[in-house]
């Protein structure tokens, strides 16, 4: 039971952290995504950088459109983070219990993280696709969740599923690196508190922020070309590009998006938008892990209190 309770605490705190970080950084995420989704030859691009996207929203009086798709994105972030953290923590502890090891190795950690990520992606892909289309729509013309998905076929709701599964290596690399650093940093703290029965140890807010930022930056640089392809595959069709439907359809595959980038933007195109991607994802991941670490103890205590309350209530009902 303790295994399940601790996994539930990890999942809940991780989901709340993801929800808050997504909401705080959403305007930056919108600017980044619209910039990444644009694919035009040099000299013809509408946006030179993410700042141009922000200036367009301001000049067209569509600042609130920077939040288009926020509701769907929050649902997707909360659900995916809850499933991921629960699965990751549950299977990690199950592995330690059955193997008899006191700590988990890097290889086993990476395999568990990838498996948890792949399972999460399959369940939440329609939410991810819808939020990406809403986010990259022309300012002021984003549609609701159901209308966005109903306009296409059921298979189109899973656009980018293959590349999303491949990209589970990104959080897998991130969380594996974070977990390994965290275990080392907490060794001294655990020794000083030896013999004291309490909730699991947690990092300080600053330590969690720094470790989260470093681990996410490393993972993002490695996987960025695939990240940009994913944005292009899931992006909404712009009215300015509506006449080139054949080319747009070809871009909806990994190989097609890679060829399109190479043809129009060259090698440098595979890293277009890397800086805002790093800025957004590093801050987001650092905030997520910092919030998760700081509320994990509170979540643990609340869950124990709820379990105790339910146990006492069940006992009273039986006795009556």
Q: Residues 133-186: pLDDT tens digits? A: 888 888 888 888 888 877 777 778 888 888 888 888 887 777 777 877 788 777
Token pair belonging to 309: 């309350």
Is 124 inside a domain boundary? yes
Considering the chain, what percentage of its residues have pLDDT values greater than 90?
11
Is 127 inside a domain boundary? yes
Residue 216: closest CA among 8, 37, 24, 18: 18
Token pair belonging to 226: 């695939």
Q: CB 238: neighbour CB atoms within 10 A? A: 16
By CB neighbour count within 10 A (0-12 exposed, 13-18 middle, 19+ buried), where does 300 fall?
A: buried
pTM reported for the whole predicted model: 0.71
- With tokens 């288009």, the residue in question is 68
Is 75 inside a domain boundary? yes
Question: How many domains in the chain?
Answer: 1
The predicted-structure confidence for 49-60, as pLDDT tens digits, reads as follows 899 999 999 998
Is 88 inside a domain boundary? yes
The predicted-structure confidence for 71-117, as pLDDT tens digits, reads as follows 899 888 888 888 887 888 888 888 888 888 877 777 787 788 888 88
Predicted local confidence at residue 52, as pLDDT: 92
Q: 3-state DSSP call for residue 8? A: helix
Is 94 inside a domain boundary? yes
Is 313 inside a domain boundary? no
Is 223 inside a domain boundary? no
Is 43 inside a domain boundary? no
The predicted-structure confidence for 3-39, as pLDDT tens digits, reads as follows 466 667 777 777 788 888 888 899 999 999 999 988 8
Token pair belonging to 59: 């000049």
* For range 272-297, the mean pLDDT: 81
> Range of 119's domain?
69-159
């Amino acid at each position: 039971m303790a295994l399940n309770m601790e996994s539930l605490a990890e999942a809940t705190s991780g989901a709340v952290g993801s929800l808050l970080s997504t909401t705080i950084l959403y305007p930056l995420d919108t600017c980044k995504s619209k910039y990444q989704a644009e694919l035009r030859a040099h000299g013809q691009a509408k946006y030179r950088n993410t700042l141009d996207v922000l200036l367009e929203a301001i000049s067209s009086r569509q600042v609130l459109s920077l939040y288009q798709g926020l509701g769907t994105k929050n649902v997707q972030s909360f659900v995916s983070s809850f499933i991921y953290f629960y699965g990751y923590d549950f299977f990690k502890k199950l592995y330690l219990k059955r193997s008899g090891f006191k700590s988990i190795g890097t290889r086993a950690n990476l395999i568990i993280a990838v498996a948890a990520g792949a399972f999460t992606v399959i369940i939440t892909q329609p939410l991810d696709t819808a939020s990406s289309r809403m986010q990259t729509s022309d300012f002021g013309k984003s549609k609701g969740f159901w209308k966005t998905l109903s306009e296409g076929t059921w298979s189109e709701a899973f656009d980018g599923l293959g590349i999303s599964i491949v990209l589970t290596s990104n959080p897998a690399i991130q969380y594996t690196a974070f977990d390994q650093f965290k275990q080392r940093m907490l060794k001294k703290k655990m020794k000083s508190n030896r013999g004291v029965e309490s909730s699991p140890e947690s990092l300080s807010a600053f330590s969690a922020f720094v470790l989260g930022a470093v681990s996410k930056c490393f993972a993002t640089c490695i996987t960025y070309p695939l990240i940009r392809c994913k944005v292009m595959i899931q992006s909404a069709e712009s009215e300015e590009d509506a006449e080139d439907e054949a080319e747009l359809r070809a871009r909806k595959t990994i190989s097609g998006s890679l060829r399109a980038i190479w043809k129009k933007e060259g090698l440098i195109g595979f890293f277009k938008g890397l800086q805002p991607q790093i800025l957004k994802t590093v801050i987001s991941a650092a905030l997520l892990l910092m919030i998760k670490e700081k509320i994990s103890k509170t979540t643990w205590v609340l869950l124990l209190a709820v379990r105790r309350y339910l146990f006492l209530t069940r006992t009273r009902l039986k006795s009556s």
